[in-house]
Amino acid sequence: MSDERPEDIRVTDQPDRSRFVVTVDGETAGFAAYERRSGRVILTHTEVDSAYQGRGVAGRLARGALDAVRAAGDRVTPSCPYIAEYIRRHQQYLDLVDDAHRAEVTAPSAS
């Protein structure tokens, strides 16, 4: 049996900095930058520190950001390629995407 404990991964909105921040065990691990425009959140860039890559942190960040957008009743424009790909793989978030950008995340991935 392993002595490892599960990591505490949290996503919080920092509206004063226009970003969702992900922390792992209290340490900042990355962020998803955004712009707000009349009921729409434009997710522009996602970044996770290399020390946390490969551990599912970016996915948790994307999910947390999209869940927060849903809870606020807003729509999303996934300008960030990572967020767009996340939505392609997790179609339960497709309804959040504004109509003008929905085709971009329903098309097959180029990867």
The pLDDT, as a whole number, for residue 1 is: 42
> Would you place residue 104 in the very low, low, confident or very high pLDDT band (cuts 50, 70, 90)?
confident
The pLDDT, as a whole number, for residue 2 is: 45
Every domain of the chain and the residues it spans: 9-106
Lowest mean pLDDT, pick from 19-33, 55-69, 96-110: 96-110
For residue 2, count CB atoms less than 10 angstroms from its CB and return exposed for 0-12, middle for 13-18, buried for 19 or more. Answer: exposed
Query: In the predicted model, is pLDDT for residue 111 greater than 70?
Result: no
- 4-9 long-range contacts (CB < 8 A, ≥24 apart) are 7/55, 9/56, 9/57, 9/60
Query: In the predicted model, is pLDDT for residue 23 greater than 80?
Result: yes
Q: State the average pLDDT over residues 29-43.
A: 96
Share of the chain above pLDDT 70, in %: 90
- pTM score of the predicted model: 0.89
Out of 3.90.226.10, 3.40.630.30, 3.40.50.280, 3.40.50.2000, select the CATH number for domain 9-106.
3.40.630.30
